[in-house]
Amino acid sequence: MSILRATRAPNLINAPQQYESRHHDQIYRELRVYFNVLDNATSALFGPRGGDYLTFSYGSFYDTTDQTAADTTTAYAVTLNTTDISQGVSIENSSQITVAEAGIYNLQFSIQFVNANANAQDTSVWLRQNGVDVPASNGDSSIPAKHGSTNGKLIVAWNYFLTAAAGDFFELMWSTDSSDISIQYIDAQTSPTRPVTPSVILTVTRVSDVTSDVYA
């Protein structure tokens, strides 16, 4: 694979008032080298592996704690305590998904809800941006009832496309109609061997730039 390098326009000499072929040839050589570099760069960028040269902000996060709701009339922020990989996206104050660059972002999440009640119970998940609820972002789910000694479980997951300015932050919010509903971390399991189940998994990808007049 070719190496993509930054280009710099040549510092062309000033042509004399009277035409001289040697000056013309020198300028021609410098421009030919410059355009060859441009051709190589654009060929690599727009080739079948051109995406290898593109860098977008991204983040992958999860949580390893149980999260509970003490009050059914209160909205709670979903927290995340572990960063897997990230560039340009970070978690601030345990729950604020903060982006360093303006752009359009794809935010995907999954939450492991657990129900300790003998009846199915409802929960809501929605999004806030800079502390304000995002319109039309809520989703309601019914968590299955406890059966025997086994709590009911349900993974709730979907994604959002969001426009953000540099420094904006998002928060996943949740509420429930029963204090028996919680967001739970589950230890590794056996027969067969299975890895741990994070209580929350969140990924964020910057998918596009936005023009500055969006925030004008």
Q: What pLDDT, on a 0 to 100 scale, did the predictor assign at position 61?
A: 98
The pLDDT value given to residue 49: 66
Backbone Cα Rg of the chain: 27
Question: What pLDDT score does 177 carry?
Answer: 96
Nearest residue to 90 (alpha-carbon basis) of 143, 142, 167, 36: 167
What beta strand segments (E) does the chain contain?
58-63, 67-68, 76-77, 82-87, 89-92, 96-99, 103-115, 121-129, 132-133, 139-143, 152-164, 169-176, 181-183, 200-208
Query: Which is nearest to 1 in space by CA: 63, 38, 52?
Result: 52
Calpha distance 127→154 (Å, rounded): 19
Entry pTM? 0.78
Q: Which two tokens stand for residue 100?
A: 């360093």
- Please identify every stretch of the chain with a pLDDT value under 50, giving residue numbers as ranges: 1, 215-216
Residue 163's Cβ-count burial label (10 Å; 0-12, 13-18, 19+) is middle
Report d(CA 75, CA 125) in Å as an integer.
9
pLDDT for 213 equals 52
* Predicted local distance difference test score (pLDDT) of residue 36: 80
pLDDT score, position 211: 53
Angle at CA 68, nearest 5°, toward 66 and 70?
155
pLDDT value, residue 65:
98
Q: What does the pLDDT look like over 7-46, one tens digit per residue? A: 777 777 777 777 777 777 787 788 888 788 777 777 766 7
- Which pLDDT score, from 0 to 100, does residue 31 have? 82
CATH node for 55-215: 2.60.120.40
Mean pLDDT of the chain: 89
Structure tokens at 46: 């727009």
Strand-pair partners of 90: 98
